[in-house]
A and B are shown apart, each in its own frame.
Chain A
Amino acid sequence: MAIMAQAIRMALHYGEENLGITNIFGEDVGPPLGGVFTATQGLKTTWNSPLDERGIVGAAMGLAFAGQRAVAEVQFSDYIYNTIDLLKLAGNQCWASAGDWNLPMTLMTPVGSGIRGSIYHSHSFDATATHIAGWKIVMPSNPLDAYGLMIACLKDPNPTMYLKPKALLRVRGTEQIPGEPPLTPEGEKQLKEMIDAPLGDRSKWKANWPKGLTDYTVEIGKGKIVREGDHVTVVSYGRTLLLCAQAADQLAQEGISVEVIDLRTLFPYDWEMISSSIKKTKRAIFVNEETEVTNFGEHLIRRTVEDLFYDLEARPRLVAGAFTPGVGLADSLEMASVPQLASILDAIREVSQERA
């Protein structure tokens, strides 16, 4: 019963042992901390970098040029903005060289609200990330997908961006990652003892990795229907996916049947799954916590309107973060800045009841 941070850690360990991962690095990624969210504790190829996001991204690109698959981390996505031109370069090196070069690298960064992180530890990055061509971009919503998507990224010959929903990094899974201890309280304790670094002196500690970890892969570009329904389609990912699923369960008691899609890959996204669902329900809502202006969900709405206009029985909606310069620290401010269960429930009720 791993939490998401442990799942990422186990996938990276599998990558070190089986997929040629040679460098996992970034600020505080190596010992003793193993990442500010502990996602890189105990791994054998981790190291700490200078506090230099541009250097981190550039180094990952160079390692990829040298055929050394790297996993780099920018500690919070709020600090990735000064690397935008490098992200553009990483995304265009294959294209610009007419296919001669490819960059097998994974860049991971925690995104979104949920930890009361104030202005510079709460921002989302999906709108900007999906605007940069040449990257494959994923965001898990549960530990099993976190493991499988990381394995997929580590196998991919292209730049992959792994967005970690920081609000979910401590959330336990309900599905077993192949090879992890049983989904029991004892198994949970056992896993913690095996791969969580102890408090205090860690200089002699080594992780005891589960022996049966596998190649379990979540294919990039494939979403997942997490709730089947007939009245309205809700497309989400990351933190808000859980809220959408919760809303669907609640609304089922009101007789509203909601189909919830976990996109899992933001780009290239699973349009086949989205469009099939909307053709069935004829109503669509897109939910994420990025700010609402030029939001990735707006692109999906544009495509929905262009491709599926005559299938629709209601206006598609976007439920997104407020277009503010930051997420305010006070509980009341953060809650008002990003979608909450109540706002998602309201949107689904409104769309499902709108007259055709």
Chain B
Amino acid sequence: MKLLELYIHIPFCIKKCKYCDFLSAPASERERAEYVEGLCRKIRSYTELAKAYCVTTIFVGGGTPSILEAEQMRRIFTAIKETFQIGAYKGGPIETTIEMNPGTVTKEKLAAYKEIGINRLSIGLQSADNRELKALGRIHTYEEFLDSYYMAREAGFKNINIDLMSAIPNQTRESYEKTLRVAAELGPEHISAYSLMIEEGTPFFELYGEGRNPLCIPDEETERLMYEDTKQILKEYGYHRYEISNYAKQGFECRHNLGYWERTEYLGIGTGAASLIDNRRFIEDGVPEILSREDQMAEYMFLGLRKMEGVSKQRFKQEFGSNMEEIFGEVIEDMKEKGLLEEKGDYVRLTGRGIDISNYVMSGFLGTV
């Protein structure tokens, strides 16, 4: 039986953040109810496909999934369980995550999450500085985040992620360090630390795109140093970096996301959700992109290299029947010479410098075959 990761998309939020380019928008109660109805129908429509798969992780993302009522979430999970075969992980339940934002969570909702099997929470904090939160267009303060976090712990959640963000307007190295320390002090099992990306089509692009910088977004060099700081500071608190932007205490790496980088098959359900099934990648109801062997190999490399452990040569051979050196030897050697890649045992991985300019390294693996 093949392994499958399930992603459920909830495209609603209270108010769109200024930097957000995800498929998400505020909506009325009625719209949300109709969406949940449709979603459940869609989940059930996969009965046939589900027969060949065993679900290994579930991730409910958004938007702000915690905006839904407890009852609605319960119905979604009922549909999942009645349609898919759910596996186990180390003899226990599989990793089941829901994203939430401060200010949308109640005790009642958290109790319901526990009851339906959700065992991991991902909370969007972004910054511990209220001024910075405001600049991002977030709806909450740091204090409101704390309330939600403690509430989650009280509800018994033992696996919590906190999202943080660097290179945001008004931020300094010092204020970022404070955010890191404050978050780490709380002792979440996992921290994601992204640097802000200015995406086209967002209000931030209007404000900061194409070199505009009215609110002092940290410069490239400061941003790079913030990446360094993240690694150093979080290490002090016992977090190790296992991917470019992801840190965890031992054993709490996000299994769902690791799946993306290891090319596990995934089924995304909900508006705009992406899937990878049988080497076809598609957005719900869209035309699939069929991945050739060359595409698959290139993806294996550029996704796998996001992980700090790098890519396994042995697994490459198992998957594609060719030696990695035979296909990518030239690029790997070139990047090694430039000090951007290194080999450790069976693995090829990014060096510190390679991480800083990983796009340059990864683009080397595209179109080389």
Q: Do A and B bind each other?
A: no
Interface set of A (CB-CB < 8 Å, partner B)? none
